[in-house]
A and B are shown apart, each in its own frame.
Chain A
Amino acid sequence: MKTLEKYSVDQYGFYGKFGGAYVPEMLYPNVEELKNNYLSILNEDSFKKEFDDLLSKYVGRPTPLYFASRLSEKYQTKVYLKREDLCHTGAHKVNNTIGQILLAKRLGKKRIIAETGAGQHGVATATVCALMGLPCVVYMGEVDIARQRPNVERMKILGAEVIPATSGSKTLKDATNEAMRHWINNPVDTHYIIGSVVGPHPYPDMVARFQSVISEEIIKQLSNDFGIKHPDYVIACVGGGSNAAGAFYHYMNNESVKLIAAEAAGLGNDTGKSAATTQLGKEGILHGSRTLLMQTPDGQVIEPYSISAGLDYPGIGPIHAHLFDSGRAEFISVKDEEAMLAGIELSRLEGIIPAIETSHALSVLSKKKFGKNEVVVINLSGRGDKDLDTYIKWGKY
């Protein structure tokens, strides 16, 4: 977890012009407490040891970096898959929840709240709460509860209370609003585990640090297992952007590594049914940070659309807004249909059914030409078990 320069957060909590902490006064002390303590806690030897132990013995890290030979053959390039789908609970989300719950315990917090969209972050949070014996409340949009039933039940089995967010559009952004309101009402004993690199500073930086284990391992594995100094490309999908932040983290200041972020374009960016924030958004403020945001000319937040609930967010982490704005990362829009086809292709060529979020990143292989000897690392952020219903409804396999 070493510090970065050009693309890391500054002392005021900004990435370029994006970030900051735009919170009402009632949340200021909560956010300030985190800001004043997170770096020193993360640097404690006992914290690092506990975090690393849990990641290896409980989560199953390091996750493999796997050379996908048949996929490489098909696209005439060298594709390596970082297998975050093999993490306990089925996605990278648990890297962050382990880190944050250890932090919450050191801050003396007695209960945990979280928001969730597809339910992956909710499950990862309920899991670590069970592990640590802390009560857990997860807010989830009423619409998402209906379409992600298995994850709702998983959270309940793990002992979490799932509260439907019934305000606004009843999806992820509203669940986030409700979690923030809950935190306002319970400022002293409660820690809010945000699931992505969004929210007021220090959340984006803190979550990126917990997820940075992904690129830390990629560097070691490419070098030790394959004798490769660095990849030519790292590709990841971006909703809020936590798996991408982790996969990009240690490469951000190495400009010989090109970064590609796949955004969900739903039915297409010109259809009004998309979630491609960098293409459709403009600078604004949501959930405590200044970032790119899908909104009306009057500044009202627009409800995005994607077949993948995990990418269905109207904003984007401020770190990614900065990577986009500065041109450091290339952002590619991937439509529902293209993502679904890429998911089926991976299933057939490599025997891995990916999460539909992840399929957006895989689709980049068919949208961009890579050189025969170029090394392309794709962050396989999650597995597709949770998406069976969506695959079945789509039906073209």
Chain B
Amino acid sequence: MTTNPIDSVFQNKDQKLLNVYFTAGFPTLEDTTKILKSLDETDVDFVEIGMPFSDPVADGPTIQESNDVALNNGISIDKLFEQLGTVKGEIKTPIILMGYLNPVMQYGIEKFCQNCVEVGVSGIIIPDLPMQDYLRQFKQLFESYGLYNIFLISPQTSEERIKLIDEHSNGFIYMVSSASITGAKADISNSQEAYFNRVNSMGLKNPRLIGFGISNNETFEKACQYAKGAIIGSAFIKALRKSTNIDHTVKEFISGIKNN
């Protein structure tokens, strides 16, 4: 089997990896591919595309609102695959899809995996998919399609469970920076540092990217001291929300994060 593009990124670059999240079909339905192409022209390392859901419980107001707007625009998983199909082969950055279990379940998990491979998706994040269900119903399927499933850990996750998650993860572990929903906090505190250090001392096989609360160059740089890189979502959605020129907004935002 060929190497998953997520692994290739970690093999080629050891630090300050940037994963940027945006919601499919937002701010307008056709912006999905525009944003994707613009991000691909920057030196972003991963692109995470949100599949909107009516009830995103792990997300704060910014991403909730983008979900509502995108659903009103007519986005669906089917439509997203159609959009990704139009840029197939053009995008070099690994694509990860993030979404809640219910829409994926209704779409049909096997069909979902087939289409992910078809349009060049490398990894999946389903925050409300329990480990036991993953192991019983999804793992074999994901592996047979070469898709990586990415799990989250939080400051409250026990060491025993982190080890279990590490054992069954591929690509990287999504290290949620604080006890919070997305977009809730905008700084990194001492207790968070202690948590990052604790996880780093565990000798895990998977690298970590830190997400939640990363919004600018300062928080990005700080997060990168404790992990291979970081994930930015809400701050990028806020920038897109008021954008009049998508390409310009994307490039300005990324250059602001990387401070180059």
Contact = CB atoms under 8 A, between A and B. Distances in A.
Whether A and B are associated in the same complex: the answer reads yes
A286 B77 CA distance: 18
A293 B60 contact: no
A388 interface: no
Interface string A167-193: 110000110010011001111100000
A233 interface: no
Contacts of A150: none
Interface string B158-185: 1001000000000000001001110010
A28 B179 contact: no
Contacts of A298: 76-78, 103, 106-107
A30 B130 CA distance: 14
Contact of A185 (B61, B77, B133, B179): B179
A25 B106 contact: no
B156 A29 contact: yes
Nearest to B178: A185
A181 B76 contact: no
Interface size class of A (residues with CB under 8 A): 35 or more
Contacts of A186: 179
A107 interface: no
Nearest to A180: B57
Nearest to B64: A167
Nearest to B77: A298
B239 interface: no
A21 B130 contact: yes
A4 to B, nearest CB: 23
Nearest to A30: B156
Given A29-B158, A167-B61, A180-B57, A185 B184 contact: yes
Contact of A22 (B101, B107, B152): B101
A103 to B, nearest CB: 19
A284 interface: yes
Interface residues on B, range: 35 or more
B130 A22 contact: yes
Contacts of B1: none
A3 interface: no
Contacts of B156: 26, 28-30, 187-188
A286 B102 contact: yes
B141 interface: no
B157 A184 contact: no
Interface string B101-123: 11111110000000000000000
Given A168-B55, A284-B106, A288-B128, A25 B153 contact: yes
Contact of A285 (B64, B101, B180): B101
Contacts of B133: 20, 22
Interface string A55-74: 00000000000000000000
A282 B56 CA distance: 19
Given A26-B156, A29-B156, A167-B64, A295 B102 contact: yes
A293 B103 CA distance: 12
A371 interface: no
A282 to B, nearest CB: 8
Contacts of B104: 299
Contacts of A173: 55
B154 A25 contact: yes
A284 B105 contact: yes
B68 A177 contact: no
B185 to A, nearest CB: 9
Interface in A134-189: 167-168, 173-174, 177, 180-181, 184-188
Contacts of A293: 102
A24 interface: yes
Given A299-B107, A300-B54, 15 more contacts: A24-B128, A25-B154, A25-B157, A29-B156, A29-B157, A167-B61, A167-B68, A184-B57, A184-B181, A185-B180, A187-B156, A187-B179, A287-B55, A298-B76, A301-B102
3 pairs of A and B residues whose beta carbons are closest in the complex: A299-B106, A299-B103, A29-B156
22 contacts: A21-B130, A22-B101, A22-B128, A22-B133, A24-B127, A25-B151, A25-B153, A28-B154, A28-B156, A28-B161, A29-B157, A167-B61, A168-B54, A177-B56, A184-B180, A184-B181, A185-B179, A297-B106, A298-B76, A299-B103, A299-B107, A300-B53
Interface of A: 12, 20-26, 28-30, 167-168, 173-174, 177, 180-181, 184-188, 284-288, 293, 295, 297-301
